Amino acid sequence: MKVLKTVLSVILILSGLGWLAQGQTLPSVLLVISGCMVLPAISNKFKENPFWKLKASRVVLPIAFFSVAITMIEIPDSTDVNSTEAIKRSGVDFTSYLNAMKKAQESLDVKKMERRQKILKDLRETRAFIALSDSQIVKVEFLPILTIINDGLTRLTSDQFAINEGLMQSLGSATTFNDESAFVVKTLALALPQENGGLPNEILEIFERYRKRYNLYGAEGSTFYGTGNKETVFYNFDMTAFFVLMEKNNKDFLNAFYKARQNGISNWKEGSDFLYPFLASQDAFNSHLGEVYPKSEYYRNYDERLTAQELFHAYEGNEISADDRFKNRRLAVTGKVKEIRETLGDIYIDLYSGDPSGWTVISCQMSNRDEVTRLAKGQRIRLIGKCTGKTLNVSIDLIECGMW
């Protein structure tokens, strides 16, 4: 019995130390205490205590501490890195992405497949990978790394990846190891399907663990409460592009993706050569949203997109032709704010039109007063509204306008 108690106490103490390494302080302390209670060398020293003399006390108390600890522990998913079904059960359906990447890998020539294996080998040897995948560590210190990868996915072309240098510099103060940059570079290199066959299962699982702990995105200063600990995030972080790539039709992911950009956590990209345009361009994302989730509050239905200057020059060149093209149609107009005003209870935003005389503006009657309170003169914005034509030489008018 003494040997059995010793073995049991060692198991409890080691378990407690293991959970302590994963940042779960309170349950780990309870496990260590329960282990010490069971350990004969310690338990026997307290038998002179009337309470501890009772066998019921020596049995019930360690069990109580153990039970409380177990209920407080957040047990990580025991997913098999080679099992699609195991990953699917973790909460996000990665099947579509994994199937597409399987086909991409089958199409790689021998040279590219050898390169993929070399990159995978190097990736798995980085300390960051060992911490995030092998040890399944989930801590705020690693959120900047996942944010950089997330941003990199929005910049992919068919054969190249790019990294936001500003985000990379954030690793300087958030770094835990010395090879986070190598981890990021090798992960993004693998993300190129036609070149290197796509992301491996381990990376998918890492993102899923962090989504479960920290949600899809968050702002600097966000606080997260786990079991027995509290964490504050010191950087904006975003994982929404990754999850939209995994599940392109997931409404929650699509909404979070848009809100992360609306709230300034991430930003839209300019260009046309992206591998995944719907992750980069606002227009491409809107088109994708219209196809898969047209009822989203963030979907904007419009007939044509142009700048304030282009709209002005169209009317300046031929007003009749411009009316035929634009009048009573919904336009997405981009321009700089010249004036924010209220007239007879209605809110208007005037955009610079490029009129050399300075007289003509693009006048937008706003539907939502709250949207206007966040704006400032000189700010570049995009509005969507119905064009009603030109009023004298003073304005080209849009009504029922909203921010986009």
pLDDT tens across 225-248, in order? 765 678 888 889 999 999 999 999
Write the pLDDT tens digit of every residue in 324-337: 999 999 999 999 99
Q: What is the mean pLDDT of the chain?
A: 86
Full-model pTM? 0.69
Q: Considering just the CA atoms, what is the radius of gyration of the chain in Å? A: 29
Q: Are 276 and 287 in contact (CB under 8 A)?
A: no
The architecture in CATH of the region 304-403 reads Beta Barrel (2.40)
Q: Which residue has the higher pLDDT, 196 or 36?
A: 196
**79/96 Cα distance (integer angstroms):** 18
As a whole number, mean pLDDT of residues 219-230 equals: 79
> At 27, phi and psi to the nearest 5?
-65, -35
With a pLDDT cut of 90, the percent of the chain lying above it is 60
pLDDT tops 60 at residue 367:
yes
Tell me which DSSP letter residue 232 carries.
E
Write the pLDDT tens digit of every residue in 277-304: 999 999 999 999 999 999 998 898 899 9
Q: Where are the domain boundaries for CATH 2.40.50.140 in the chain? A: 304-403
**147/210 Cα distance (integer angstroms):** 11
Q: Is the dihedral of CA 35, 36, 41, 46 positive or negative?
A: negative
As a whole number, mean pLDDT of residues 131-136 equals: 95
| C-alpha closest to that of 182 among 133, 128, 116 | 128
